[in-house]
Amino acid sequence: ARLKPAATTDMVCGFCSTGCSLRVHLNERGQAINLTTNPHYSVNQGMACPKGWEALTPLSAPDRVTTPLLRNPATGNLEPVDWPTALAAFVKNFKGIQERHGKTSLSFLSTGQIVMEEMALLGALAKFGMGMTDVDSNTRQCMATSHVAYKQSFGFDAPPFTYKDFEESDALIFIGANPCIAHPIMWQRVMMNKHNPDIVVIDPRRTETAMAATLHVPLLPKSDLVLLYGLANLLIERGAIKQDFIDAHTSSFADFASFLREFTLDRTARETGLPAETLHRLVDIIATRERVSLWWTMGVNQGHESTRTAQAIINLALMTGNIGRPGTGANSITGQCNAMGSRLFGNASSLLGGYDFAKAEHRSHVASILGIDPALIPDRASLAYDQILDGIDKGSIRGLWVIATNTAHSWINQKTFPAIREKLEFLVVQDMYATTETARMADLVLPAAGWGEKDGILINSERRLGIVKKVSRAPGQALSDFAIFKLVADAWGCGHLFAKWSSPEAAFQILKELSRRQPCEFTGISSYEHIDRSGGIQWPFTDKDAIAPTPIHERTSTAHPERERRLFSDGQFFTPDRRAKFLFDQPRPMPELPDADYPMILLTGRGSSAQWHTGSRTDKSDVLRKLAPRELYVEINPIDADRLRIANNELVRVRSRRGEADALALITSTVQPGQIYLPMHFDTVNRLTFPAFDPHSRQPSYKACAVRVERI
């Protein structure tokens, strides 16, 4: 009875990109006391994964940072200070660096975890107010590939699907994706499919999703590009392509078809390690099922040739006409709750709203909406995450502001980060906790509010804008990231540039204008309240789409009365000639191949639906800690375990040329002989990974490197 809510309110979850709606229970003072799920929201229909159920717990963790902390040079310790002191230190140190080394000697690394309005304000403040040029976000580590692949192929970063496609496909092909663990509510939507679909998983490892699939295709690590080209060639040979769609809506298919001729059945089988029968079966599925959808996540995105691999998936959808219809699509599933917001408003690779920094007319247009001098907008896109870290290493960048990400743990070349940090003259970390590996290295820590302690919008994988609300007071002096950016702007002396950004909702109105006439337009949304009562709204949503939605509480849990906003149903893409492009390149070998010293291949991935990223939030929950393994484990095939005389649960050492990690052996045939698997959440895993990057997206290649396993 004590916990009986005085009221409830609905808001989207702040962990993954699924964007489930949670029903937060409030006390008489409007403070969150509990949560359940929202049965009326089309995305999750009353379901949530363990992280969602535990979403409030990290807010009350004892190690929340409650005041700014400044490193005392005398003691070497981070010590509490008030906000004026913290802001003065921020400005003095960062302006000092710019005076000594130039405007572009400052940079930030941010996150796909903060709301869209905060991302946009940060990007605008840093570039137009503080003079930075090179900034990036941890979305580089997860979604940069999809962003670039869609932009090049479709003319805009536009994932075409809705979640209804999970239920409407005759065949779902997951490539480098493990939704059972990484996107469990999306997997539940697959389970709602009544079409008796083929469910194919293309993955070297027999993942939880592969075990549940109708066909697992265990290709050799990083042979995905060859496989996709081989399948495309077999489909052409079989005549199983949609020539009328290709002729009407695409360009450069003839060049692609000619390029594919060398990807014969023999070559594809040899280079992927797959039997010809498996390849034929895959081709049969694609050729004979009416509605085929292709889904990818990090197994594709985190590769050394990831953009072309994503585009090979897009090419398959285009050549078979599997796009723009229910149950089809070349569909990238995003990772973080607001990676999609970052892709539109991160102000790193693209200018706010998906514009191009290099085009003067785009800079003028954005400047006119913001009411600023166009000369304040840099004329080139930012360097990428790895290039920013290289810049620090080489001395061109001397000051770094890290917001809600944990570079010291998650960076692919983790071992180099402490030395890189030493080259920084000033490191600011803005976070909910001062206990992350990166925050512990900071000169200044700014205490930030978390999800549930602030207002704003997150955009999920199907392009749906959802609302988060302030239902809990941030502890001590912690402030929303939005409020911190406003304070920094005023302290820096550029607050007048952001006078119109008076609140998150006022910022939303500015972003709406930036979206006008872009493919991502959402000018038909009047307010936060409009999104709230609509059950989220997918872009595009223009003025003419703004019919009155069915109030969410009048819906049933099984009906989805809001319009499904699948893209490209008219076959018109966002390129200048409105045609999608076939883009392709020769496959390249894995950057680090196994050899006599390091004879095995390390695979990495998400280990549990109860863990998130580096664990900075999920580790705060007793429930989530109990649901996920507490110690690092390594999956080893029985044949390798026998050869190495390793027993189950024995502590072993995994070694690469970069470093080592100790892990408990889990002997299992989920991995193939010669391959091992480590879950990514543990802090020693990125001592091992190999820093290779896709040349188009600069996304790191976390998924495969050469290692050996030793008994200790």
Determine the residue with CB nearest ligand SF4.
52
Q: Are 595 and 669 in contact (CB under 8 A)?
A: no
Select the span of 44-52, 111-119, 132-140, 170-178 touching ligand SF4 (CB under 6 A): 44-52
Cβ closest to ligand SF4, residue 164 vs residue 325: 164
Q: Least separation, in Å, of the C-beta of 333 and ligand SF4? A: 11
Q: Are 137 and 348 in contact (CB under 8 A)?
A: yes
**Cis status of the peptide bond prior to 540, with omega within 30 of 0:** yes
Cβ closest to ligand SF4, residue 44 vs residue 614: 44
590-649: contacts with ligand SF4 (CB under 6 A): none
Q: Least separation, in Å, of the C-beta of 689 and ligand SF4? A: 24
Q: Least separation, in Å, of the C-beta of 17 and ligand SF4? A: 7
Q: Is residue 658 a contact residue for ligand SF4 (CB under 6 A)?
A: no
Cβ closest to ligand SF4, residue 52 vs residue 204: 52
Cβ closest to ligand SF4, residue 185 vs residue 706: 185
Check residue 30 and report its DSSP letter. Answer: S
Q: Is residue 51 a contact residue for ligand SF4 (CB under 6 A)?
A: yes
DSSP letters spanning 506-540: HHHHHHHHHHTTSTT--TT---HHHHHHHT-EESP
- Given 9, 11, 18, 278, the residue binding ligand SF4 (CB under 6 A): 18
Cβ closest to ligand SF4, residue 37 vs residue 675: 37
Q: Which of 481, 458, 474, 472 is nearest to 528 (CA)?
A: 458
Q: Is residue 19 a contact residue for ligand SF4 (CB under 6 A)?
A: yes
* Residue 86, CA distances (Å) to 25, 70, 71, 670 in order: 35, 7, 10, 50
- Given 48, 56, 404, 514, the residue binding ligand SF4 (CB under 6 A): 48
How does strand 537-538 pair with strand 651-655?
unpaired
Q: Are 76 and 440 in contact (CB under 8 A)?
A: no
Q: Least separation, in Å, of the C-beta of 47 and ligand SF4? A: 8
Cβ closest to ligand SF4, residue 52 vs residue 321: 52
Cβ closest to ligand SF4, residue 49 vs residue 457: 49
Cα 292 off chain centre by: 24
SS3 433: strand
Contacts of 663 (CB under 8 A, 6+ apart): 631, 632, 633, 634, 651, 652, 653, 654, 678
Q: Least separation, in Å, of the C-beta of 12 and ligand SF4? A: 7
Residue 2, number of CB atoms within 10 A of its CB: 5
Cβ closest to ligand SF4, residue 18 vs residue 405: 18
Q: Is residue 16 a contact residue for ligand SF4 (CB under 6 A)?
A: yes
Rounded to the nearest 10°, the torsion over CA 549, 456, 117, 64 is -160
Select the span of 14-22, 249-257, 553-561, 672-680 touching ligand SF4 (CB under 6 A): 14-22
Q: Is residue 301 a contact residue for ligand SF4 (CB under 6 A)?
A: no
Cβ closest to ligand SF4, residue 51 vs residue 291: 51
Cβ closest to ligand SF4, residue 208 vs residue 224: 208
Cβ closest to ligand SF4, residue 20 vs residue 126: 20
Instruction: Give residue for tokens 């496909």.
Output: 169
Classify residue 377 as exposed, middle or buried by CB count within 10 Å of its CB (0-12, 13-18, 19+).
Answer: buried
Binding mask 172-201 for ligand SF4 (x = CB under 6 A): ------------xx----------------
Q: Is residue 202 a contact residue for ligand SF4 (CB under 6 A)?
A: no
- Given 9, 10, 11, 20, the residue binding ligand SF4 (CB under 6 A): 20
Angle at 657 between CA 653 and CA 658, to 5 degrees: 85
SS3 201: strand
Select the span of 48-56, 200-208, 287-295, 342-350 touching ligand SF4 (CB under 6 A): 48-56
Q: Is residue 49 a contact residue for ligand SF4 (CB under 6 A)?
A: yes
Q: Least separation, in Å, of the C-beta of 163 and ligand SF4? A: 11
- Bin 675: left if φ > 0, else alpha if -120 < ψ < 50, else beta: beta
- Given 9, 10, 11, 13, the residue binding ligand SF4 (CB under 6 A): 13
Q: Which of 245, 370, 238 is nearest to 317 (CA)?
A: 245
Instruction: Give residue for tokens 């994932």.
Output: 159
Q: Least separation, in Å, of the C-beta of 344 and ligand SF4? A: 19
SS3 570: coil
Q: Are 633 and 679 in contact (CB under 8 A)?
A: yes
Cβ closest to ligand SF4, residue 464 vs residue 579: 464
Size of the site for ligand SF4 (CB under 6 A): 13
Contacts with ligand SF4 by CB under 6 A lie at 13, 15-16, 18-20, 44, 48-49, 51-52, 184-185
